[in-house]
Structure formats: C-alpha cells, structure tokens
Amino acid sequence: MKVGKHTAFMIDFVSDFADGKISRYFFEMDYSGYVIEYFPKMKRENAHLAQNFVSTVDNVVEYAQANNISDEDFRIMVNNALCDLVGVMSPT
C-alpha cells in the first residue's frame, strides 16, 4: 500500500518516540499539533489508513493521557499500536 507524505511523517514521528529518540514530554507536546496539522491531509491521502491510525495510535495516546501510564509502558503501548498500524498497511 502506498503511503502519502503526511501519513509517512506521522508514522515516522510516532516511530521515533517508540524507538526512544524523543522523550515523552516532547512527544506529547508535538503530537496534538501534528494531528491537527497532518490528519486532514492523511484523510485525503487515504481515508481508510487515516481511520486505522485513529483506531491504533491515537486511541493509545488518548488512553495514556487520560490514565496514569508510566513512560515505559506508554512507549511500549505506542510501539504496539504502531506495529498494529504497520501490520494493517502490509499486503497480505
């Protein structure tokens, strides 16, 4: 499946956090702004994939922010959500 540049940007950003390249503080600071900026463009690139992003990554981020999830557990949860999203993207 072809991934548009805005979707690729968000996947790369989330992946950087999951890989430990970005602190939770900076991830959470930037995430909301990036979703506001890039999500409408992601929907235009591929509405189905954008919805899958919401169902995986965004749901985990919202859950972790609403609950007292440790930084390590949050990183693991985001990584798992990203793996689920990438699995959705992979041809079967």
The secondary structure of 33-88 as a DSSP string is: HHHHHHHHHHHHH-HHHHHHHIIIIIHHHHHHHHTT--HHHHHHHHHHHHHHHHHH
pLDDT for res 71: 95
Task: Give the phi and the psi of residue 86 in degrees, each rounded to 5.
Answer: -65, -35
User: Domain-by-domain residue ranges, the chain?
Assistant: 5-89
For 56, the token pair is: 């995986």
Query: Cα-flanking dihedrals φ and ψ of residue 73, to 5°?
Result: -65, -35
pLDDT digit string, tens, across residues 40-91 = 999 999 999 999 999 999 999 999 999 999 999 999 999 999 999 988 555 4
